[in-house]
Amino acid sequence: MATDPTASLGSITGHDLAAVPDAVVALLGASRRVLAIGHESPDADAFGSALGVALAVEWLGGRATAMSSDPVPPMYDFMPHIERIRAEPDPDLDYDLIVVSDSGDLGRVGRVAREHAELFGRVPILVIDHHASNEGFGAVDWVDPSAAAACEMVALLLPRLGVPLDALDGTIAADLMAGVIGDTGMFQHPNATPRTMRVSADLLAAGASIADVARRIYRNKPNAQLRLFGRVLARLESDLDERLVWASLEPDDLVRSGASAEQSEGIIDLLAQSATAEVAILFRDLGDRTRISTRTRDGGVDAIVLTSTFGGGGHPRAAGATVMLPLAEARVAVLAEATRLIDALGPR
Ligand code: 5GP
Ligand code: MN
């Protein structure tokens, strides 16, 4: 398909659109019954990219299911069409394509891929992802680590498919904007590129309000969640002349604050506000296992290197892992590895 810059609302360039592989356009354009899914513990980019793909397929006359292994956290209720997210494949649809977005490997899809292993083994998979750690696991893989969000990629894909970015009254654009704003931290992380801004300008022109989306994602928290943040932040610890900063969330914190486990989302980004931290780490107690979220300073420790030691991954500045140890032991092991990586940077 020829690239048509006039399909853009003004800012996305023909060069931007040409970055979408023809094989991706051909495969998705030819598919009529599509299952679209992002990663478990979903965020705005996981939901936005899956919804964007599903709505585009329907706009082109096909049928689609947008799915998630985990339920939709209430903070994402504002995303248009979020009620479309299903927990199970549609038994009435004989899928001809599965689109896995925002997931560095198939395991990140979570429960659905495990419970429907036969489906995921039989139906061709199209991967649309921006994690540098992604080695590809589909029939066609589109992995672009220069994209700030999977939603940035889907926003380039839509015009290539012939779906205008302002289709469905700008509601697709609003979902894609949510993913871009979430993954760039309101355009403040170093992953926000000129292309991210061009895509966002067109999403804005299509009717997606940056102000509304940013408020709903970042300034709309239940007070119990703020109490949880306060408890955890009050226990901030540091080492290596404060270049290593961490805090631990214990089950008691949830009970005492009245917050839910998913409301710990955002604490790591507050820890990362530290002026001294090369590496910020949040530990979350899962009983026999421990979740870690890490953030690292630009030009410093690679968060992918830190988390991959523990079977995780993500981006150079933001990554996570599930450590197969209880909290106290996981903390010792992860802090030792973080210390080694900070020491390797040399003196400040
Ligand atoms: P967060 O710390 O916000 O949960 O995650 C930061 C980034 O790391 C996200 O892009 C997320 O997709 C990725 N990530 C988090 N946990 C894991 C994990 O267990 N495995 C992999 N491969 N990536 C993860
Ligand atoms: Mn993402």
pLDDT tens-place string over residues 300-334: 999 999 999 999 999 999 999 999 999 999 999 99
Mutating to test ligand 1, I would choose from 315, 322, 324 the residue with most ligand atoms within 8 A of its C-beta, which is 315
Does position 238 have pLDDT exceeding 70, yes or no? Answer: yes
Does position 253 have pLDDT exceeding 80, yes or no? Answer: yes
Q: What is the mean pLDDT of residues 249-264?
A: 95
Strands (E), 168-311: 237-239, 244-249, 279-285, 290-296
Q: What is the mean pLDDT of residues 283-298?
A: 96
Q: Residues 6 or more apart from 301 whose CB is under 8 A from it?
A: 278, 279, 338, 341, 342, 345
81, 175 in Cβ contact below 8 A? yes
The residue among 333, 339, 256, 348 whose CA lies nearest residue 292 is 333
Does position 347 have pLDDT exceeding 90, yes or no? Answer: no
Question: Nearest bound ligand to CA 308?
Answer: 1
Ligand 2 center–CA 235 separation, angstroms: 29
Confidence of residue 7 (pLDDT cuts 50, 70, 90): low
Does position 4 have pLDDT exceeding 60, yes or no? Answer: no
Retrieve residue 305's tokens.
């290197």
Measured over the CA atoms of residue 206, residue 37, residue 29 and residue 192, the dihedral's sign is positive
User: For ligand 1, atom 20, which residue shows the shortest CA distance?
Assistant: 312
Does position 348 have pLDDT exceeding 80, yes or no? Answer: no
User: What number does the ligand 1 atom closest to the CA of 282 have?
Assistant: 2
Confidence of residue 172 (pLDDT cuts 50, 70, 90): very high
Q: Residues 6 or more apart from 187 whose CB is under 8 A from it?
A: 181, 196, 197, 200
Ligand 2 center–CA 288 separation, angstroms: 27
Core vs surface per residue 215-246: b (16+ CB within 10 A) or e = ebbeeebeeebebbbebbeeebeeebeebbbb
User: What number does the ligand 1 atom closest to the CA of 312 have?
Assistant: 20
Question: Nearest bound ligand to CA 44?
Answer: 2
Does position 224 have pLDDT exceeding 80, yes or no? Answer: yes
Does position 3 have pLDDT exceeding 70, yes or no? Answer: no
Alpha-carbon distances of 344 from 246, 279, 340, 347, rounded to whole Å:
19, 13, 6, 9
Alpha-carbon distances of 191 from 44, 108, 183, 269, 299, rounded to whole Å:
16, 21, 8, 15, 13
Cα-Cα-Cα-Cα torsion 114, 119, 125, 127, nearest 10 degrees, comes to -30
pLDDT digits over 12-56, tens only? Answer: 999 999 999 999 999 999 999 999 999 999 999 999 999 999 999
What are phi and psi for residue 10, nearest 5 degrees? 135, -30
pLDDT digits over 120-140, tens only? Answer: 999 999 999 999 989 999 999
Q: What is the DSSP string of 80-134?
A: TTGGG-BSS--TT---SEEEEES-SSGGGG-HHHHHTHHHHHHS-EEEEE--TT-
Does position 6 have pLDDT exceeding 70, yes or no? Answer: no
At 2 the pLDDT is: 44
The rounded distance, in Å, linking the Cα atoms of 262 and 92 is 32
Q: What is the mean pLDDT of residues 263-270?
A: 95
Ligand 2 center–CA 239 separation, angstroms: 30
At 166 the pLDDT is: 97
First CA to last CA across the chain, in angstroms?
Answer: 51
User: For ligand 1, atom 16, which residue shows the shortest CA distance?
Assistant: 320
For the chain, the residue count is: 348
Around ligand 1, the residues with Cβ closer than 6 Å are: 39, 104, 108, 133, 268, 293, 312-315, 318-322
Q: What is the mean pLDDT of residues 57-63?
A: 98
Core vs surface per residue 77-95: b (16+ CB within 10 A) or e = ebbbbbebbeeebeeeeeb
Ligand 2 center–CA 316 separation, angstroms: 13
The rounded distance, in Å, linking the Cα atoms of 85 and 319 is 25
User: Considering the entire predicted model, what is its pTM?
Assistant: 0.92
Residues flanking ion ligand 2, Cβ below 5 Å: 45, 102, 149-150, 183
User: For ligand 1, atom 10, which residue shows the shortest CA distance?
Assistant: 314
Ligand 1 center–CA 168 separation, angstroms: 31
Domains of the chain: 14-218 (3.90.1640.10), 223-344 (3.10.310.30)
Question: Nearest bound ligand to CA 130?
Answer: 2
- Helix, strand, coil abundance in the chain, percent, nearest 5: 45, 15, 40
Q: What is the mean pLDDT of residues 105-129?
A: 98
Judged by DSSP in three states, 188 sits in coil
User: For ligand 1, atom 19, which residue shows the shortest CA distance?
Assistant: 321
183, 151 in Cβ contact below 8 A? yes
What are phi and psi for residue 46, nearest 5 degrees? -65, -50
User: What number does the ligand 1 atom closest to the CA of 39 have?
Assistant: 12
Residue corresponding to tokens 């949510």: 178
Q: What is the mean pLDDT of residues 270-296?
A: 97
At 1 the pLDDT is: 44
